[in-house]
């Protein structure tokens, strides 16, 4: 048991010496709530932006991909960005 405890202490050492602080349960729940809030905001803004792009491209009688390319917009998909929700 002592060898096992020593091995586990050795694994914990980098975390203790890095200066990182442990989060309380309340802080962790708040951080998770904030993350979810900002993920939903990202999705809402992306949807709004793509609605505007679709409307403009339809009025120009151009498909959405061609319009995005012509204007020079960067998309999440193009940069392999995924909102983990």
Q: What is the pLDDT of residue 85?
A: 64
The mean per-residue pLDDT over the stretch 22-29 comes to 89
Q: What is the pLDDT of residue 49?
A: 93
pTM recorded for the entire structure: 0.65
49-74 confidence digits (pLDDT tens): 999 999 999 999 999 989 999 999 99
Q: What is the pLDDT of residue 20?
A: 73
- As a whole number of angstroms, the distance between CA 69 and CA 30 comes to 39
Q: What is the pLDDT of residue 78?
A: 87
Say whether pLDDT at 17 is over 70. Answer: yes
Say whether pLDDT at 11 is over 80. Answer: yes
Q: What is the pLDDT of residue 77?
A: 87
Q: What is the DSSP track for the chain?
A: -HHHHHHHHHHHHHHHHTT--PPPHHHHHHHHHHHHHHHHHHHHHHHHHHHHHHHHHHHTT--HHHHHHHHT---TTTTT-----
């Amino acid at each position: 048991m002592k060898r096992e405890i020593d091995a586990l202490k050795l694994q914990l050492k980098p975390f203790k010496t890095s200066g990182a602080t442990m989060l309380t349960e309340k802080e962790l729940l708040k951080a998770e709530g904030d993350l979810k809030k900002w993920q939903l905001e990202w999705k809402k803004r992306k949807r709004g932006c793509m609605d505007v792009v679709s409307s403009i491209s339809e009025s120009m009688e151009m498909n959405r991909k061609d319009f995005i390319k012509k204007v020079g917009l960067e998309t999440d998909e193009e940069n392999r960005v995924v909102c983990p929700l």
